[in-house]
A and B are shown apart, each in its own frame.
Chain A
Amino acid sequence: MDSPLQRPPDPAVVERYVLGQLPKPERTDVERLLEEDPRWREAVEREQRLAAGVRRLGRDHLRERLRQRLREAPAPAIPWPRLIAAAASVIIIVGILVVNQWFQLGRESVTGIDQSVSDLTVETPLESLPEMPKDESLADRAKAPSPAEESEGSVAPDFKRADQRPTHPRQLAATPATAQQEEKAEVSAEFASEGDDTWTQAQLYRPMPEELAGAGERQSRAEARRANKFLEDEDTSAGRVSKSSSEGDASVIVVDQRTFASLAPGTQARVQGQAPDQIPALVEHRRDTLRVILYPPALFDSEELDRATVEVPSEDSLLITIARQQIGLRLPSGTRLQPYEPARR
C-alpha cells in the first residue's frame, strides 16, 4: 500500500469527500492527506470550487423559479367560512364563561341580599365615594398575611382556594390550550418516549420602548425578584432559575424543583407558536427540576438567560422575564401548578 505522500488524489474519493459522502474512517484518512500532501489539497480545493459553483447556479435558478411562482400564483383568499366558525366558537365559549361567572356571583350574593335590586338606590354622590384601593404588589402581599393565614395560622397559601391564588399586574393573555390539535409528527424523538405529550400556549410580550428600557427594566426585574422572594419564602411555587443555557436551537431555563411546584413527573407541556408573537416552548418536569425550553429561541444570549426570572402569576401559568422581553406560558387545560410537597416515606 502507498504511503500517504505517495498516494495520488483519487477523483472518486475527492468527489465523495467534498460532498460529505465519505464514512468517518475514510474521511479521517483524507483529512490527514490534506495536511501532508499539497496535491490532495489542490484536488480538493478544485473540486470544492466546482461543487460550490454548480450549487450556486442550482440555488439561483430555484430562487428565480420560486420568485416567478410567487408573482404568478395569487395569494390564497381569506378563508371566511373558517374565520366565521372560529369567531362563533369564541363567542360561545366566552358566553359560557360569562354565564358561569354570573351564576357563581349570584350564589355568593344571595345570602347577603335582603331586598330586591330594583329597590336599591344610590344615595352617595360619586365625588364622595371612597378612593379605590390601588392594585397591591406581590411584595405587599408578602408582608401582609392573608385572612386565611391569620385565621388558620397557615404559612403556605393554598392555590386551590380562590382567595389565596397569587395574581400579578401583568395578566397573561387567556389563550386556550390546543393540546389535542397538535399532531404526533411534531413530537421530537427526544421526548416522544416520556410522559404525556401536551402542548400549551406561550405569548411573547412586546419589549418596552427603548427610551424607557433602563428604568423600566430595573423596575420590572426588582418586581420579579420581590415576587420570587415572596414565593420562595412561602415555599409555595416558585421562581428561581437555577440554570440556563442554549441547547442547539433552543434556550433552556431550568427551575429549581425544591421551590417550584410543577407538573407531575414526566409531564410535558409544549407550545407551537402560530402567530408572530407566539414562540414554541416546552415545559417539562424531569426528576427534580422543571425545564422551560424556548424553541426556537427568541434571540437570547447566555447572559440574558442567566438573568432570567420566572414568576407564577396564577396556578396555570408562568411568566418568564428575559432581558426586556416577557414570555407568558399558559399550561394546558386541566394542568395546575400545585404547592410543592416533599414525598412522604
Chain B
Amino acid sequence: MSARLAFLTQDARILDLIRRGDEGALVTLYRSCRRQVVSLVVANSGTLDDADDILQEAVVVLWERVRAGRFELTARLETFIYATARNLWLRRLARARRELAMPDHGSAIEDPELPALERMIDDEGARIIAETLELLGEPCRTLLLLFYWEERPMEEIASRLGFANAATAKSKKYQCKKALEQLVSERYHGQPPAAAS
C-alpha cells in the first residue's frame, strides 16, 4: 500500500524535495523569488546579471543548509531567499567599496563578518583544490563532496558509495585526502596545498 504525502504549504514541499536531493525544486524557488531580488539589486546599483548571480548564490546557500540539516523553517522560503540575497549583495557592495578605497590590496581584503571557511572559498588555495578535485576521479570526488559539502554522516556515505561500513568509508576518505594533497603538490611545483596559495 502506498502513502502519499500531503504538504500544508508549498514551502514544505520544496524543502522535502531538497532533502531528497531533487534540484528541480531550486528552479521553482528561483523563479518565484526572481522578481523581488531583481528589484532589490537593480535598485541598488546592480545589473540584471548581478541579480541572477546573487539569486543563484542565495538558492545554493539554502540548498547547503537544508542538505546539511542546518535549516529551520521560521519564515517563508521566499523571505529567506530575499534576506540572503540582500545580505550577499550588500556584502558584495561593501567589498567593492573597500577595494575602490584601497585598490592595491585587491582580493586580500577580507570580510570580518564571514566565517573563516566562507572567507577561504574565494581564495586562490580553494580554487586550486577545486580544480585538482575535478581530476581526482571517482569515488574520491563524490566521497569528499558528500563529506565536506553536504556534510553527510559516514554511515550514509558508505551506503551510497557501496562501502562495507562507515569505518571503510572513513579509511577511504583518508586515502582520498592524501591522494588529493599529492596531486596538488605535483601540479603546483611540489608545494603542499597550504603553501600553494
A residues engaging B (CB < 8 A)?
11, 18-21, 42, 45-46, 48-60, 62-63, 65-67, 69-70, 73, 75-76, 183-186, 188-189, 249, 272-273, 275-277, 280, 295-297, 299
The 8 closest A-B pairs by CB, nearest first: A53-B129, A276-B39, A58-B149, A52-B120, A52-B126, A54-B148, A57-B130, A53-B126
The residues in B between 57 and 94 inclusive whose CB is less than 8 angstroms from any CB of A are 57, 59-60, 63-64, 73-76, 79, 82-83, 86-87, 90
Asked if B117 is an interface residue, CB under 8 A from chain A, the answer is yes
- Contact indicator A51/B148 (Cβ below 8 Å): yes
- Contact indicator A49/B123 (Cβ below 8 Å): yes
Asked if B125 is an interface residue, CB under 8 A from chain A, the answer is yes
Selected interface stretch from B5-13, B101-109, B161-169: B5-13
- Contact indicator A70/B27 (Cβ below 8 Å): yes
- Contact indicator B79/A73 (Cβ below 8 Å): no
B residues engaging A (CB < 8 A)?
8-9, 11-12, 23-24, 26-27, 30-31, 35-36, 38-40, 44, 56-57, 59-60, 63-64, 73-76, 79, 82-83, 86-87, 90, 115-118, 120-121, 123, 125-130, 132-134, 144-145, 147-151, 174, 177, 180-181, 192-194, 197
CB of A282 to closest CB in B, whole Å: 11
Known: A19-B148, A65-B23, A66-B30. A53 touches B56 (CB 8 A): no
Please pick, from A49, A58, A189, the residue contacting B74 in the complex, using a CB distance under 8 A: A189
* Most-contacted residue by chain B among A55, A70, A76, A184 (CB, 10 A): A55
**How many angstroms between the C-alpha atoms of A297 and B90 in the bound complex?**
12
Neighbouring A residues of B74 by C-beta, 8 Å: 188-189
Neighbouring B residues of A188 by C-beta, 8 Å: 74-75
- Output the nearest chain B residue to A46 by Cβ-Cβ distance: B194
- Contact indicator B197/A49 (Cβ below 8 Å): yes
- Contact indicator B125/A52 (Cβ below 8 Å): yes
- Contact indicator A54/B76 (Cβ below 8 Å): no
CB of A171 to closest CB in B, whole Å: 23
CB of A194 to closest CB in B, whole Å: 15
- Contact indicator B193/A46 (Cβ below 8 Å): yes
- Contact indicator A76/B31 (Cβ below 8 Å): yes
- Contact indicator B194/A45 (Cβ below 8 Å): yes
Please pick, from B9, B60, B125, the residue contacting A183 in the complex, using a CB distance under 8 A: B9
**How many angstroms between the C-alpha atoms of A239 and B108 in the bound complex?**
47
- Contact indicator A296/B79 (Cβ below 8 Å): yes
**How many angstroms between the C-alpha atoms of A284 and B127 in the bound complex?**
48
Dominant secondary structure at the B interface: helix
Please pick, from A49, A60, A276, the residue contacting B129 in the complex, using a CB distance under 8 A: A49
- Output the nearest chain A residue to B119 by Cβ-Cβ distance: A52
Neighbouring B residues of A186 by C-beta, 8 Å: 75-76, 79
- Contact indicator A56/B126 (Cβ below 8 Å): yes
Given A53-B130, A69-B27, A295-B79, 5 extra CB contacts under 8 A: A50-B180, A54-B133, A62-B63, A63-B60, A185-B73
- Contact indicator A62/B130 (Cβ below 8 Å): no
- Contact indicator A296/B86 (Cβ below 8 Å): yes
- Output the nearest chain A residue to B145 by Cβ-Cβ distance: A58
- Contact indicator B56/A63 (Cβ below 8 Å): yes
* Most-contacted residue by chain B among A42, A67, A70, A76 (CB, 10 A): A70
CB of A155 to closest CB in B, whole Å: 43
**How many angstroms between the C-alpha atoms of A52 and B114 in the bound complex?**
13
- Contact indicator A57/B128 (Cβ below 8 Å): no
**How many angstroms between the C-alpha atoms of A69 and B63 in the bound complex?**
15
Neighbouring B residues of A18 by C-beta, 8 Å: 117
Neighbouring A residues of B180 by C-beta, 8 Å: 50
CB of B138 to closest CB in A, whole Å: 14
- Contact indicator B44/A299 (Cβ below 8 Å): yes
Neighbouring B residues of A273 by C-beta, 8 Å: 36
- 17 A/B residue pairs, CB under 8 Å, sorted by A: A50-B177, A53-B127, A53-B129, A54-B129, A54-B148, A56-B129, A57-B129, A66-B56, A66-B60, A185-B76, A186-B75, A249-B87, A272-B79, A276-B35, A277-B39, A296-B82, A297-B86
**How many angstroms between the C-alpha atoms of A20 and B115 in the bound complex?**
10
**How many angstroms between the C-alpha atoms of A183 and B56 in the bound complex?**
26
Neighbouring A residues of B76 by C-beta, 8 Å: 185-186, 272
- Contact indicator A66/B128 (Cβ below 8 Å): no
Known: A57-B145, A70-B30, A280-B79. A49 touches B86 (CB 8 A): no
Neighbouring B residues of A276 by C-beta, 8 Å: 35-36, 38-40
Neighbouring B residues of A60 by C-beta, 8 Å: 130
Neighbouring A residues of B24 by C-beta, 8 Å: 69, 73
- Contact indicator B194/A49 (Cβ below 8 Å): yes
Neighbouring A residues of B193 by C-beta, 8 Å: 46, 49-50, 53
- Contact indicator B123/A52 (Cβ below 8 Å): yes
**How many angstroms between the C-alpha atoms of A42 and B59 in the bound complex?**
33
